Structures are given as structure tokens and as C-alpha cells.
Amino acid sequence: MKTYNFQTIEKKWQKIWQKSKIFRGRDKSKKPKFYCLDMFPYPSAEGLHVGHLRGYTFSDVIAKKRMMEGFNVLHPMGWDAFGLPAENFAIKTGIHPAISTKKAIKNIKKQLLSAGFGYDWQREITTCQPDYYKWTQWMFLQLYKRDLAYKKEAAVNFCPSCKTVLANEQVIDGRCERCNSLVEKKYLEQWFFKITDYAERLLNDLNKIDWPEKIKIMQRNWIGRSVGSEIIFQIGIGETYLNLPVFTTRADTLFGCTYVVIAPEHPLIEKLKPEIKNWKKTEKYIEEAKKKTEIERLAEEKEKTGIELKGIKAINPVNNQKVPIFVADYVLMEYGTGAIMAVPGHDQRDFIFAQKYGLPIVEVIKPKTGSSVFPEANARAFEEDGVLTNSGSFNGLDSARAREEITKYLEKRNLAKKAVYYKLKDWLISRQRYWGAPIPIVYCKKCGEVEVPEKDLPVKLPKIKDFKPTGKGESPLAKSEKFVKIKCPKCGSPAKRETDTLDTFVCSSWYFLRYTDPKNKKEFASKKRVKNWLPVDLYIGGAEHAVMHLLYSRFFIKALFDQKLIDFSEPFSKLFNQGIVYRLGAKMSKSKGNVVTPDYIFKKFGADTMRLYELFMGPSEQATEWSDKGVIGCYRFLNKVWNLQQKLKIKNQKLKIKIKNKKIEKLVHKTIKKVTEDIENFRFNTAVSALMILTNEFEREEQLSIINYQLLLKLLAPLAPHLSEEIWHRLNNISINQPNQHKSASIFFEKWPKYEPKLIKEETITLVIQINGRVRDKIEVEASLSEEEAKKLTLEREKVKKWIEDKEVKKIIFVPGKLINIVV
């Protein structure tokens, strides 16, 4: 027998599988469908490292197992090809992003093919190609028609180094997610998607989907729903009053409000300007505040600053007290109403601020039990709920009730209403960059903003030489006159194109729909195909996309659902996040120099070894350290499986081999059960170790039955497909005359093994029951009986009850597999 020559075997099967297209999803099939999706990669010039391949290995194992279980599996792959890295690379090297992207795709595709992944390459999509982004633009227009896309001047996050605007989600701790530069605020005209319209549904529908709880929590926090009251403070100016609404979740503390604070950007300031006695100083403060980033303004450790607007007061609606108005940078216009009521007695931030500016601190909430902590212990505000005091007719009510009552009382006077606020902001989608899908809008002097008609899509990205961003908040496309100049689609007069491009997250918000019908020229996908395949049954990818891609896609699907373009409202029924791969203590990355390329492993140990190690290295959802030793261990295991062929001794046994071996038989069926359940629950590492145990047992036996060997190969097939397929075919050739052997074209057309429940039954033992050290009873129990179960079983027995009578059980001693002793 030949030794395990993985290089020949793997190349051979990769070719055969690609040619026969055995892993393709069938649009017409009677089998139940299973849509297994990977987050598609960004085609970077560096290619993929072994860390990237972990999640892909998981999805490939599940897809292949589902195929063997009789499902019609869709497992596609494509390229998230627009975006900054290719463009930055282009700026540095002068190579056009279209060319560098194409090259990167070719390289990564080769890596994926070499790993033996069963993607349906007939459905490959590339988001930077016009046949794809035509539909991205079309999607934009659908949202635009429903007023879910709009343009406005806004304070935006601007990265001075990338020279572009960033979405809130792309700013991490005040820094650019890509290049780590401090993000600046800029006021620019920008396009937004009105994701805030969907805040409530995005929140509620999280209950409908099978996603990791940590991702759901991140989305809930990001959406940030808070329920409270909007209360109106009035500001008297001459004979009239201006309304200043504030949002609070603590209406119960309203009597304790001794000042209000408004954001430096609050539009009311302009109206109040003539009344403000210290305008010069105020103006200076506002200018300073505008230069700061949101993070700087909100920093916990930073001392809060503010300036009182002299000459005007606000009226506390519940007690008509006139309170001072401050402008302070820690209040943001984007959140709530841009104004807050300050209650220094019951809010620590207000407390510190009040002490600094000598403002009154009033106790209006007492603890429910115990004595008042106020004002003796006034080093801190009392922030908990309690009972109202110093609150007029509301005294004695508890906080929860008082929130209702005070809001109701003011509601009757039109000075309050119940309100819900969200932290979620609209999604900023325009980018002043070259390498993205152009926004299909035209500006006409007569007609204003005009959408590009569907028949004129796609608006093709022009080939330009100078793709450097201008840094003035203008896209490089603005430099191409040929692109900009156009006739208005409505009236025909000279007009200009929008020169901003779409955030790449727009391209990736719907790509999984396109896989169902990637070549359709008339629709983004036919309704029938989308209905056949969607929603995605299993989505595998990194947790870093929690509040970006995974939220945006949900929004997109809901918007398309509302437009009756699709009939489901959640894109991904089940989500799994694979753990990150570390090496030498850090996340694998080229900059840290700790990358292992799959190409190296393919060459040295083979794709099957790499796959097996990705599965075996640790719990699938946890971060795990890469170990070269572990790789070798997996390689040895595959060699063992290969060498088991020698144990078949087929010639001597007339092929009708069914070696009776109870112990082996049992282990085989236990392994089938374990591997089946483990893969189902993403416990790939323990599935591999169960297969290793079985292999070791086989090795110890003098001869091996072909049936048992075939069962091992079927279980191993999704994990190590090349080796399993190769041995499968060898066995079929050997046993060609055997009537009960299928002559199958592929192991993946075989049925996934089922275990025999009879064979995996636990062994039983005799448990001796003692009472005060004397044997009184015996029972037959399963060997694995737990202490809890043993106690329950014993105490329920009539004989035992008789011995105990009504004496008190003092102690129970349990010796697993042997005895239980009850001390009374």
C-alpha cells in the first residue's frame, strides 16, 4: 500500500469536485434547502491567513454534513471588493484598485479552492463589478423613494488621514477604525439612511432569531432604547415664551431640578442671543466646544465645564421656580432633545457640576427604608429610586408611581408627554472616496435633486487616474468632468452628478440575496429564487460586525420587506461567531509578523490537516492560540486513518466481512452519536477527538471490518474531505462485487450515518444500598448514574423507606458505580 500522499490526492479531488460541481446548490430540488453563508472576504493583497480560514472551515463542515443528511445546500462565496484598503493601496502604488482587486481575488480564490471548501463557484459575486453595483444603486433608489435616504448638513466624523467621513460605527474610542487617527468633527452635506425609523423593530425582532446573546446585547445597547418623559421648560422673553423640551427618565425628581443644561449646538441659543447678557463669553465657549470630539466631550474623567446664560431663566413646570440655564459641552445635540434638566441631589454628574458652580442641591427622593442619606452624607448624589419628599402634593409616592403621576399632571397642562428615545442615529452612507458605487443622484438647477432612472443604471464608476481624496470633503470623482456633467433626466437641461460614493457596508447589506440569482439582469434576484433560499439558515463570521454589517443587513431586509419585495423580515435565522486565532500571544496580523499562511500548511501537511487542526485547536467560539505541534498531531492522525487500510485483509475474507466485535461495534455507534451532535452544536474539537479515539481503537484490532471503516470515513468526510473521498473510492474499487456496497461517485452522496440506539445503551451495574453501613437493598442502575439521581432513586424505594421509618437522614455517602450508604 502506498503511503499517504496528500499532495496528489488533494489536487486530484479538487479538480474532480470543481469539474463535477457536486457542491452546487440546485435551484430546482425536492430536497429541503439549507443556506449556509460565510461573511464574504475583503480581497486584500496579502491573501488570507489561517485565522481567516477557521470560520470558513466550520461552515464547510456543516454544509457538507447537511448535504449528506439529504439537504439541498447553498454555500456560496464572493468578494466585498469596494473600500478603502484597495484605494489606499492604489494611492501608494499607483496601481488602479480594479487591477489590484482582481489580482487579490485570484489569489484568495486559489487559497479557498486549495482548502477543499465546497463553494458553489457558479454563484460568485464581486461587489465592485457593474452587474452587481447596478443593484446596490437600485436598492439605494428604493430607499430614496420611501424617504429612507436623505441628504442633510451634519456634523460628521472625519478622518484627517483617510480624508473621508466615517460612520459612527467606524469610530472606536474617538479614533478611525482603519488608521487609528483621532477623528475630527466636520460640518458637511451628507447622505443618510433613516435606520432610526426601524429602531423599535430592530430591537424587538432580536427575540425572533437564534443569535449569540452577546451580539444581541451589543445591538440592544447600540440601539439604546430609553423610556421616559419629555418635559417642557418655558423661557420667558418679554411677553412670549419659548419652549425648551428636555428628555428625562427620572420625572420623579423634577422638584429637585435647580438648573437646566443645553448643548452648545442647540438651535434655541440663536433665538435667545439678544437676551443673553454675557454673549461674548458664551460664544467663545461654544466655539471651543465645537472643536472637541464627542469622546472628549463625554469623557468620564474630564471635569465638566459650562457657562451660565446670564439674563434669562427657565421655568420648572412643576413648581414654577425660575432656574438658571447653562450651556455645557457634555450635553450632545444628537441625543434626546439636546437639553437636560439637572437634579444635583440625585444625579452624580449634576451634583459635581452644582458644587463647582455653587448651585442649590435639593433632596427630593428619600431611601425607601432607613434614614435619609441627605444632606449629611452629601459627598454623593442619591441616585436610586425611593420615596418622594419636598415635592408638594407628590410627597410620599414611590419613584415609579411618581414618574407616572408627575408626567400625567403636566400632560394635562400640555407641558409633558411620555417619550421613548434611542441612542441609534441615522446611518451615514456617503463617502468622499473613489473606490465605491456612485450614488445615483443628479442635481439640476430647475428640478433640484433628481434620481437616476432605473433604465440608466448602473451609474458606472469612471476610470480616472487621480484617485487621491481632496481632503476638502469632496470626492475624487468631482475632478472628472466627463463624469460630473450630465443632462437632467427630467428636463434635459445641464445638470451635475452626485460625486460621493456609497459606504461599502451598503454593498454588503444585501449580497446574500444576489447569490440566489447572480446573473439576473432584470431584477436583483427573482422573487421565486429568493423565496426558495432565504432566509439564511446559518451565518458564520466574526463578532466584530455586531453593530455594523449585522445591523445594517437587518435594516435593509426590513425595508425590502415593507416594500413587499421579499417575504421575510430577518436575514439570518442563526448566527455563529468563530473565535479569533492568536499566535505568539497576539491576534494574527501581518503588521505583528505572526501570520501563518494556509499555503505553507497546504504544502507541508495538506489541506485536510489544516482543516482538522482548525477544528481541533480549541472550542470553536473561543479565541485560541495556534500551535505548530497541534498541526503535526492532526497530520499523524490522518496518517493513521490512511494506514488502517492495511487492516482490512479483504482477500482472505471473501469480502463478506462482518467481524463480530461487540466492544468495537458499541464504540462506533457512540462515535456516530457524538460526532453528529457535536458538529450540530459547533463542538468541532470534541468531534475530532472522538474520531481520534475510534481510530486508535481500530488500530489496536488485528483486523477491521470494511463497514466500520466506511462509517469512520463518512464521519470524517466533512472534516477531511480529500482523504475520505480517496479511501472511499479505493474501497469501492476493491469491493466492487459486493452486493450491498454502493458504487458511489462521491462519499458526499452517501447518507450520513445513523447510530443504533440499542448499541449505545449505557452499561448497567448493581448499586448496593446500605443503611447505617448494613446492606439492605440492591438495584440495577446505569453505570453513569449521578449522585443526585442515585439519592432520589434510593430514597423512593419502599424497602429503604421501611428501614428509615421517620428517622432523620443525617448523611448520604455515594460511591459511584458501587454503593450508597444512608446514615440515620
Cα–Cα distance, 501 to 420 (Å, whole number):
34
By CB under 5 A, residue 182 contacts Zn ion: no
Closer to Zn ion by Cβ: residue 180 or 744: 180
Minimum gap (Å) between residue 179 Cβ and Zn ion? 3
Query: Would you say 55 and 39 are in contact if contact means Cβ atoms under 8 Å apart?
Result: yes
**Of the ranges 340-348, 442-450, 708-716, 719-727, which one interacts with Zn ion (CB under 5 A)?**
442-450
Decide if 10 contacts 722 (C-beta within 8 A).
yes
CB of 411 to Zn ion, least distance (A): 47
CA angle in degrees (0–180, nearest 5) for 777-778-782: 145
CB of 29 to Zn ion, least distance (A): 46
- Is the distance from CB of 274 to CB of 370 less than 8 angstroms? no
> Least distance in Å: CB of 178 to Zn ion?
5
Which position among 39, 112, 139, 176 is part of the footprint of Zn ion (CB under 5 A)?
A: 176
State the nearest-atom distance from the C-beta of 127 to Zn ion, in Å.
Answer: 21
Our CB check for Zn ion shows the closer of 159 and 687 to be 159
Q: Count residues binding Zn ion (CB under 5 A).
A: 13
Residue 442 in the binding site for Zn ion (CB under 5 A): no
> Is 62 an interacting residue with respect to Zn ion (CB under 5 A)?
no
Angle (CA) 574-578-579 rounded to 5° is: 145
Instruction: Between 178 and 529, name the residue whose CB sits nearer to Zn ion.
Output: 178
List the strands of the sheet with 184-193, edge to edge.
Answer: 164-166, 149-159, 184-193, 427-428
Strands 365-366 and 175-176: unpaired
Alpha helices, DSSP H, located in 277-387: 279-291, 294-298, 348-357
Q: Which stretch binds Zn ion (CB under 5 A): 204-212, 436-444, 626-634, 749-757?
A: 436-444
Among 162, 165, 364, 771, indicate the residue that binds Zn ion (CB under 5 A): 162
State the binding string over 25-54 for Zn ion (x if CB under 5 A, else -).
Answer: ------------------------------
Q: Judged by CB, which is closer to Zn ion: 417, or 590?
A: 590
CB-based contact 108:47 (threshold 8 Å)? yes
Q: What is the separation of C-alpha 391 from the centre of its chain, rounded to a whole number of angstroms?
A: 46
- Nearer to Zn ion among residue 499 and residue 685 (C-beta): 499
- Binding-site member from 490, 529, 647, 673 for Zn ion (CB under 5 A): 490
CB 477 to Zn ion: min, Å: 20
Under the criterion CB under 5 A, does residue 491 sit at the interface with Zn ion? yes
Stretch that binds Zn ion, among 64-72, 95-103, 159-167, 749-757 (CB under 5 A): 159-167
Q: How far is the CB of 163 from Zn ion (least distance, A)?
A: 8
Contacts of 93 (CB under 8 A, 6+ apart): 100
Choice from 21, 110, 130, 179 touching Zn ion (CB under 5 A): 179
The answer to whether residue 178 forms part of the interface with Zn ion (CB under 5 A) is yes
Which of the ranges 482-490, 517-525, 603-611, 768-776 carries the binding residues for Zn ion, by CB under 5 A? Answer: 482-490
Q: Is 446 one of the binding residues for Zn ion (CB under 5 A)?
A: yes
State the minimum distance, in angstroms, from the CB of residue 120 to Zn ion: 36
Q: Is 513 near Zn ion (CB under 5 A)?
A: no
* Binding window for Zn ion (CB under 5 A); candidates: 93-101, 302-310, 490-498, 584-592: 490-498
Contact region with Zn ion (CB under 5 A), list: 37-45, 180-188, 650-658, 717-725: 180-188
- Alpha helix (H) residue ranges in 25-174: 52-68, 84-93, 97-114, 130-145
Instruction: For residue 398, give the DSSP letter.
Output: B
Backbone angles phi, psi at 734, to 5 degrees: -70, -45
**Per CB under 5 A, which region of 271-279, 486-494, 523-531, 787-795 contacts Zn ion?**
486-494
Going by DSSP bridges, is the β-strand pair 575-577/501-502 parallel, antiparallel, or unpaired?
Answer: unpaired
Strand stretches in 389-473, DSSP E: 416-422, 427-428, 430-431, 441-444, 448-451
Nearer to Zn ion, 184 or 599 (CB): 184
How many whole angstroms separate alpha carbon 549 and alpha carbon 575?
A: 13
Indicate whether 488 belongs to the interface with Zn ion (CB under 5 A).
yes
CA R_g for the chain: 34
Compute the least distance from the CB of residue 494 to Zn ion, in Å: 9
Identified binder of Zn ion from the candidate list 295, 352, 447, 795, rule CB under 5 A: 447
- Nearest approach, Cβ of residue 487 and Zn ion (Å): 8
Say if CB 325 and CB 271 are below 8 A apart: no
The residue among 340, 314, 182 whose CA lies nearest residue 247 is 340
Instruction: Report CA-CA distances (Å) from 15 to 113, 537, 567, 600, 610.
Output: 9, 28, 38, 20, 19
What cell does 146 get? 420611501
DSSP string of 66-96? HHHTT-EEE---EE---SHHHHHHHHHH---
CB of 43: closest distance to Zn ion in angstroms? 20
161 is a site residue for Zn ion (CB under 5 A): yes
Nearer to Zn ion, 281 or 446 (CB): 446
DSSP secondary structure of 769-802:
EEETTEEEEEEEEETT--HHHHHHHHHT-HHHHH
Q: How far is it, in rounded angstroms, from Cα 143 to Cα 441?
A: 13
In whole angstroms, the minimum distance from the beta carbon of 147 to Zn ion comes to 20
Least distance from Zn ion to the Cβ atom of residue 499, Å: 18
The residue among 490 and 791 lying less far from Zn ion, judged by its C-beta, is 490
Q: Nearer Cβ to Zn ion, position 151 or 666?
A: 151
Select from 62, 199, 202, 444 the one that contacts Zn ion (CB under 5 A): 444
The distance of closest approach from Cβ of residue 425 to Zn ion in the complex, given in angstroms and rounded to an integer, is 20
Binding site for Zn ion (CB under 5 A): 159, 161-162, 176, 178-179, 181, 444, 446-447, 488, 490-491
